[in-house]
Amino acid sequence: MKVKTGLTLLFLSVILFSCTQQKQGTVLKLAHGLDPSHPVHSAMVFMADRCEEISGGEMTIEIYPSGQLGSEQQCVELLQIGSLAITKVSAAVMESFTEDFKVLGLPYVFRSKEHSFKVLDGEIGKQLLLSTEPFWIRGLCFYDAGSRSFYTIDKPVNHPDDLKGLKIRVMKSITAMEMVKAQGGSPTPISWGELYTALQSGVVDGAENNPPSFYTSHHYEVCKYYSLNEHTMVPDVLIVSLKVWKKLTDQEKNWLQQAADESVPVQRELWAKSEKESLEFVKDAGVIVTYPDKEPFSEKVTELLESYRDNEKIYNLITSIKEVE
C-alpha cells in the first residue's frame, strides 16, 4: 500500500511539475476535493483572479477542484514535498501536525460566529497559521465552515440526554470523539465518502456537520431531524507548501497573502448565503429543523474543557480565546 501511495504521489508530482514549466511567470497549483459549486471553491477563484490582477499577470493560480489531483491526504503530502502549492483542509486535520489546532475543535470555545472571526483574524489566528511550519506547511487564512450540529435518523437531539445510545459519526479527530462522548453519545469515526451508506444501513444513527454539508451530501434523504445546537465552529484552513513559499520572492509572497486575505470576507458572505439556502432546501424536503437550548450541551462539555487544565499550552489558548471581546 505504501509503495502504491508513493507511486501515485510521484506520478502527480511529475504532472504538476511539467504543468508549471509550460507557462511563463510564477504559476501556483491549488488542488482540493470540493465541488466547483461550493462557496469555498468560489472564494478560491476570487483569490486566483485577485492574485493575477495585483501581480499584473506575473503570478497566476491554477485551481483543480473535485479531487482531480488526489485525496485531501494526498494533497497535503504533495504540499509537504513541494509538488503542490496550495490546498484546503479542515482545521481538524491540522491536529495531526500540531496540538495547537485542537483548540478550534473544542465545543463551545467560541461564543458566536462573530467571536470566532475576531479570534481567527487576530493574533491567535496568526499564531495557529504559522504553527505547522515545522511540518513544511504554512497557513494562509481561515475560511468559514459554519457551525456543526447533530442530524439523526429517527429522533431529534434537543437535549444531551437524547444522545444516549446513539452512534454518531465523527471526523477522525480525537477532539471530535471526546466532544460526542462528553455529551452522552457514542462517537464512531467513518470517512465522509462512506457516511451516506453507513446512515442508510444503520451502522450509525446520525452525524454532525454544517447545513451546506448536510444538504450537498444528500444526508437529508436519510436523516429527517436536524438539531442546530451548534456545538463546534471548526474552520477550514487554506495552506501553502512551505517549500514553495520559500522559493517565492518577498513581492510574490505579498501578492499571494494579499489575495488570500481579500478572499476571506468574500468566502464568508458566500458561506452565509449557502447556509441559508441549504436550510431552506432541507426543510422543504421534509427535514424537521429544531433550535434547542445550547446551555445543557455547553454544561455537558465543561468537564472536557477543564480536562485541558493540565495541558498548559492548550489551556492558555482556551483562556486567550475566551478573553477576546
Residue 218 has pLDDT above 70, yes or no: yes
Identity of the residue numbered 184: G
Per-residue pLDDT at 24 exceeds 90: no
pLDDT single digits (tens) 84-143: 999 999 898 888 889 999 999 999 999 999 999 999 999 999 999 999 999 999 999 999
Say if residue 181's pLDDT is above 60.
yes
Percent of the chain residues topping a pLDDT of 70: 93
Task: Please give the pLDDT value at position 12.
Answer: 52
Same fold, 2-144+235-275 and 148-233+282-323: yes
Element housing 95 (H / E): none
Instruction: Name the one residue in this structure whose C-alpha cell is 508549471.
Output: 20
What is the rounded (10 degree) CA torsion for 122, 124, 126, 130?
Answer: 180
Domains in the chain: boundaries: 2-144+235-275, 148-233+282-323
The answer on pLDDT for 15 being more than 70 is no
pLDDT tens readout for residues 229-245: 999 999 999 999 999 99
Reported as type and span, the H/E element at residue 117 is helix 113-121
Residue range 136-174, pLDDT digits in tens = 999 999 999 999 999 999 999 999 999 999 999 998 888
Would you put residue 236 in left (φ > 0), alpha (ψ -120 to 50) or beta? beta
Q: Which helix (H) or strand (E) holds 12?
A: helix 2-21
Calculate mean pLDDT across residues 19-30: 72
Identify the CATH homologous superfamily for domain 148-233+282-323.
Answer: Bacterial extracellular solute-binding protein, family 7 (3.40.190.170)
What value does the mean pLDDT of the chain take? 91
CA atoms in the 13 A half-sphere facing the CB of 239:
35
* CATH number 1.10.3720.10 is the correct assignment for the domain at 2-144+235-275: no
Q: Tell me the mean pLDDT in the region 5-26.
A: 52
User: What is the reported pLDDT for 2?
Assistant: 45
pLDDT, residue 268, reads 98
Q: pLDDT for 37-92, tens place per residue? A: 888 999 999 999 999 999 999 999 999 998 899 888 899 999 999 999 999 998 98
Contact 244, 28 (CB under 8 A): yes
Q: How far apart are the two ends of the chain, measured CA to CA in Å?
A: 49
Strand ranges for 65-127 from DSSP E: 86-90
Please give the pLDDT value at position 7: 46
Predicted confidence (pLDDT) at residue 278 exceeds the cutoff of 70: yes
User: Where does the pLDDT of residue 20 fall: very low under 50, low under 70, confident under 90, or very high at 90 and above?
Assistant: very low
The reported pLDDT for the residue numbered 3 is 44
- Give the contacts of 215 (CB within 8 A, at least 6 positions apart): 278, 281, 282
**Alpha helices of 183-293 — where are they, by DSSP H?**
192-201, 211-216, 242-247, 250-284
Q: Taking Cα atoms as reference points, which of 144, 95, 148 lies closest to residue 121?
A: 144
